[in-house]
Structure 1
Amino acid sequence: MNKIGLFQSLKTDAWVKPFLTKYKNVLALALFLGFLTFFCGGALMFNSGFLISRSASIPENILLVYIPIVLTRAFGIGRPVFRYLERLTSHSWVLRMTSNLRLKLYNVVEKDAIFFKQAHRTGDILGLLAEDINHIQNLYLRTIFPTVIAWILYVFLIIGLGYFSWWFAIVMLLLLGIVVVVLPLWSVVVNGARQEKQKQMKNHLYTTLTDNVLGVSDWVFSQRGTEYVAGHKALEADLRTIDEKIKQFDRRRDFLLQGTFGVIAVALLVWASSRFPGVYGGLANWIAAFVLCVFPLIDAFAPLPSAAQETNVYKDSIDRFNALPEEQAAILAANAVKPEGPVELTVKDVHFHYPEGKEVLHGLDLTIAGHQKLAILGRSGSGKSTFASLLRGDLIPTEGSILINGQPVADFGDGISEVIGVINQSPYLFHTTILNNLRIGNEAASEEDVWQVLDQVGLKDMVSSLPDGLATMVDEAGLRFSGGERHRLALARILLKDTPIILLDEPTVGLDPITEQGVLETFFQVLDHKTIIWITHHLQGISMMDRVIFIEDGQLTMSGSPAKLAAENAHFQQLLAIDQGRI
């Protein structure tokens, strides 16, 4: 039943199955090399047994066994060579497949990150990366490859024995059938459900552990740390119980497996004794040849029961991948290039709602002309940040459109970074040099260009005073710099990038009023020739804007110049009074 479920999952699979076709030649080569590995191993023992017996029976026979000696050397060399080549080929195939799988998973998560975070917890993502990718890898290395190779050997052996004796070929068909069919099915029926439960418990542990680690401060502050540890230990104890049951079954099954191989060896011994009677040691020769041939073939058939019982785990992993959204390749239209000259941004009747959520934006209409300075105000949760994501193309409107010079934002794909630059609340500085941090905006920028933008943002003297100048290492997250300095460094990046539109997403949150005013003045002075979209929650520096809009409950409720609104709009006047501390 579980195997049927796996085949059904693979039939409708859009994640794993495509790689079977993409790398089919390498896959076929790996299977063929695997067959040759076990063939050489069995042939080596068969030939060696015959050679040793024949040579030992009559001393003169040593002169008559030149061909078996050559074959022994050939099979002896061939077995490790083919084994190495098979491992090299199969692992190369699997690593190609899993690397593509990881890339596809990244593309899905990165492209749909906001929605993915709503539908999946961090522990789910870790489960996909740590468990499911490895399960898909093991599906090939521990199940598909060994099973296909074993079945090829199974058919080859039965046909080969049928050449000597059809009735004994039927006997071996039944005996090997216990190893190839019966024991794997028994493992699936008895242990498959336990392994599925084991995987579910591991996924649950990933999820709960991640959630609790991220919220560890809540456990500490509530003085419930002991309760958390006890709960986690209980989950681990349940998992260990399942693990032990699986191991107990594996030990019993392996005992039966080895017993079956013992019966096969005895059957071969009896059959060879009756099939090849003769004088001059002929009987001993064939007994040694056929019986010794069994032992290297054990390595081919022994993994089948354990491989079969894991198919249910693989089915679960495949289903989890196929439950993810379809991969969306980054689209960059041929004419969606960095615009030259003024850039006009048009918002036409935009509606947006998150999956299974209320509508965040409702019928938004707006035109932002080139070089305009626009401030967007609104309460927390009013839709400002969602609107910013829509402008960047990170989200797609449920209805309506957002255009840059008549071109839909979505058409720019990753190329949107050439059009819109972003400075957010907490600009991140990486643990590398100041020069490398700034060149993120433009890798081709010269040191002269970097010094020029540092001068524009007012940091040239500060960086010059550092012992290593531009080569100064930045502490992790840029903690050696003040909040205002980090924002100015982020502005320097944007200047090197030279995008026509700058999106300021509440960039001065957490700064003291004096620093905030200085940062804003620098921003608007240096970016005077750019289009600025400034999302803010209060009005310091608002007089430097050309236009102010207010979003409330997803709709545009106020629009005009700061001076006009201050003179005519009661709501704006109230906001000014609150911001200035007069109310």
Structure 2
Amino acid sequence: MKQSHLLLSKNDYWVRPYFKKYKKLLALVLFLGVLTFFSAGALMFTSGYLISKSATKPESILLVYVPIVLTRAFGIARPTFRYIERLGSHNWVLRMTSDIRLKLYQALEKDTQKQTKGYQSGSLLGMLAEDIDHIQNLYLRTIFPTVISFLLYTIIVIALGFFSLPFALIMLLLMSSFLIFLPLLSLTVNRARVYRRKELRHTLYNDLTDAVLGVGDWQYSGREGEFLTQYNAAEQKVRTEDERLNRYTRFESLVKQFLFGLVVVALFVWAGNYFAGFGNQAALNWIAAFVLSFFPLIDAFAPISDSMRELPMYEDTVRRLDQLPRIEDNVNQSGEELLSPKNTIIQFKDVNFQYHEGQRFILNDFSLTIPEGQILAILGKSGMGKTTLTQLLRGDLTATKGSIEIGEMSIYDFVGRQSEFIGVLNQKPHLFNTNMLNNIRLGNLEATDEEVYHAACLAGLKEVIDRLPEGLETLVEENGKRFSGGEQQRIALARILLQNVPIVIIDEPTIGLDPITEKKLLETIFVTLKGKTIIWITHHLVGIDHADRVIFLENGKIKIDGKPAELKRENHYYQHLYQLDTYE
């Protein structure tokens, strides 16, 4: 087994940095945690004293008035501090996990093709869901409770030292048995089991995810029974490991109960002897106070060994995440303003690209310059690299050789910032199950309602909005099924207008539309995006006159390049394509 990653080391990238970032909130959470258990212990302490004192039939209620008030005060303080501590700790964790999720998405997005081809779908989903939960639980179930318990441990030993130094040392050893010895023993005994269980669960998660994604293939091949048999066998292995861990947990729980009982007996014996030495009945009232005060602390000390047992799982999670690229490597750390391109001239210089080593090159020593503000139409057969070209431009794919620049700056300098410069209008834009206003506002989350409405009108949606009873507040429904294909594209176009980027990629937005709708949509697109650099991927030549320039890709190179009118007049191959495409 590989050496597990050491949590909270100086090189840790996913856990340790957030202690510094949210240190004030962390200090508040730990302080509130200590106050919670202090209030619980103080409640039992004053209650024990009050019960003993009341049993001696005091001559006046005033003799027990102070412990009555303290009992009420600590009774209110305990749940109050507990509630505030829970709010604070979950606020801390939610802030942290929000940052981690953003960092994780950016890490997966960076050099996407290289990173994702080594992962199964289930593995990626596991990172986005399960591993984030593990880090969240690391804080809530391990780090916070452990730190709070050791703070209480230190306070208790110091407090007992004021009464009796020898007994304080005895309690130091007794409490260390379930704060130090049992957790370390649990970690040592169960480390391999926890790793094995996590690996089995991870494999099970991968298999199930891949099977669900390919459920049709299982059904068509008539092998669903085989899948269920394999899945049940894998699930049984996970259950076996769970049972082994549960068996140890039950044994450990029995040992902890015995040790807690030993501490209570030791407290009772010491308090009895200590206060009996005062030789008066009043001193004996403190015996129950000291003994009962320890019981609430069981809730603070008992979970430590359980949480430590899960530490290998958290270590493995952090190790897996640390294998992802670090976003800071591509971010200006000096505090200086991030550089932007001088212009939007796009240059492909001797670019080669292949999806896998040994396969054919989709682009082969490909060079292309796209001037600022030009409308470039890219034609070509399927698989000739039209969409690949735009994915390389956005940094979604990495060129095997050569360079790609925008305004004399490499596109890899914009990783994580592509949306500031490039917008995309796809064949099937994704619309969310929310209203039209929110779907369009995705282009610019800071946009006002008036700006959203203006963008919608520019995209040709005014008549659509006017006839809807709720206007922009109308629910789009999942995948925009409430609207026609042309209307969905107009919503996506309004999103791009709101985004206000200098470069727009249009990837066959009219596919599947009727000719009239197609013509109107193309006119709207090119009128509203006038002045921007447009890269238009298309299979046919309807509306081609909107383009300033047309190129035809074949075998990784440019076969045809020129203005539409010139090509129609001079290029026989283009003339043939035009006749085929416009033939009715």
Decide: shared fold, TM above 0.5. yes
Q: Distance in 2 between matches of 1:262 and 1:235?
A: 41
| Alpha-carbon offset, residue 485 of structure 1 | 5.5
Compared with structure 1, are the counterparts of its residues 580 and 249 closer, same or farther at alpha carbon in structure 2 (3 Å cutoff)? same
Partner of 1:202: 201
Partner of 1:305: 305
What letter matches 2:14 in structure 1? Answer: W
Q: Does 1:383 align with 2:385?
A: yes
* Deviation digits for residues 300-358 of structure 1 (CA, Å, limit 9, x no counterpart): 2111111111111111122122222212578897774896xxx6433333345668786
* Pairing 1:264–2:266 present: no
- Specify whether residues 99 and 552 from structure 1 end up closer, same or farther in structure 2 by C-alpha distance, changes over 3 A only: same
Answer yes or no: is 1:88 the counterpart of 2:87: yes
Moved more, 388-397 or 173-182: 388-397
SS of match in other structure, 1:257: helix
Aligned counterparts of 2:15 and 2:514: Cα–Cα separation in 1: 53
Q: Summarize deviations over 1:153-174 as a string: whole Å, max 9, x none.
A: 2233333333333333333233
Structure-2 change in CA distance of 1:38 and 1:552 (3 Å): same
Q: Which whole-Å CA distance do the structure 1 matches of 2:121 and 2:372 have between them?
A: 40
Contact 1:336 1:411 in 2 (8 A): no
Following superposition, the deviation at residue 285 of structure 1 comes to 2.8
Query: What is the match of residue 318 of structure 1?
Result: 318
**Distance in 1 between the 2:507 and 2:291 partners?**
77
Percent identical pairs in the alignment equals 52
Matches within 5 A, 1:114-125: 114-125=113-124
* CA distance in 2: counterparts of 1:261 and 1:41, whole angstroms: 17
Cα distance in 1 for partners of 2:537, 2:209 equals: 33
Partner of 2:45: 46
Distance 2:247 2:442 in 1: 56
Alignment of 1:346-495 (within 5 A): 346-352=347-353, 360-370=362-372, 372-395=374-397, 397=399, 400-406=402-408, 408-409=410-411, 417=419, 420-431=422-433, 444-445=450-451, 450-451=456-457, 453-454=459-460, 474-479=476-481, 481-483=483-485, 486-487=488-489, 490=492
Q: Is the 8 A contact 1:195 1:313 kept in 2?
A: yes
Structure 2 residue aligned with 1:505: 507
Q: Residue 15 of structure 1: CA displacement? A: 1.5
Equivalent position amino acid for 1:423 in 2: L
1:20 CA drift (Å): 0.7
- Counterpart Cα distance in 1 of 2:221 and 2:380: 34
Unpaired stretches in structure 1, ≥5 consecutive residues: none
Mapping for residues 177-188 of structure 1, pairs under 5 Å: 177-188=176-187
Supply the AA of the counterpart residue of 1:366.
L
Q: What pairs with 1:108-257 in structure 2 (closer than 5 Å)?
A: 108-257=107-256
Total equivalences in the alignment: 574
Native 8 Å contact 2:547 2:564 kept in 1: yes
Q: Aligned-pair distance for 1:22?
A: 1.4
What is the distance in 1 between the residues matched to 2:473 and 2:46?
Answer: 69
Question: Matches of 2:288 and 2:462 in 1, distance apart?
Answer: 86
Shift of 1:254: 0.7
Q: Are 1:434 and 1:474, in contact at CA under 8 Å, matched by a contact in 2? A: yes
CA contact (8 A) 2:264 2:294 kept: yes
Match of 1:275 in 2: 274
Provide, for residues 397-451 of structure 1, a one-character-per-residue CA deviation record: whole Å limited to 9, x for no partner.
Answer: 5654444454555566677556544332223445566677667668544757745
SS of the residue corresponding to residue 254 of structure 1 reads helix
Distance 2:486 2:91 in 1: 50
User: Normalized against structure 1, the TM-score is what?
Assistant: 0.82
For residue 32 of structure 1, give the secondary structure of its aligned residue in structure 2: helix
Q: Provide the residue aligned with 2:99 in structure 1.
A: 100
Judged with a 3 Å threshold, the aligned counterparts in structure 2 of structure 1 residues 258 and 408 are, in CA distance, closer, same or farther, namely same
Deviations 1:58-116 (A, max 9, x none): 64587655655555455444433433333333232222222222232233334554444
Q: Once the 2 structures are TM-superposed, how far is the Cα of residue 248 of structure 1 from its aligned partner?
A: 2.1
Q: CA RMSD in A?
A: 4.2
Query: Aligned partners of 1:275, 1:307: CA distance in 2, in Å?
Result: 36
| 1:231 partner amino acid | Q
Q: Is 1:424–1:504's contact at 8 Å kept on the other side of the alignment?
A: yes
* 47 and 504 in structure 1: CA distance in 2 versus 1, 3 angstrom threshold: closer
Output the amino acid matched with 2:346.
Answer: L
Residues in 2 aligned to 1:432 and 1:5: alpha-carbon distance in whole angstroms: 44
- Residue in 1 aligned with 2:29? 30
- Deviation for aligned residue 1:39: 2.7
- Rounded Cα–Cα distance in structure 2 between residues aligned with 1:112 and 1:85: 42
Mapped contact 2:459–2:525 kept (Cα < 8 A): no
User: Equivalent residue of 1:119, what SS?
Assistant: coil
Contact 2:113-2:398 at 8 Å conserved across structures? no
- Closer, same or farther: CA 335–242 of 1 in aligned 2, 3 Å: closer
Shift, 1:388, TM fit: 0.7
The AA in structure 1 aligned to 2:324 is L
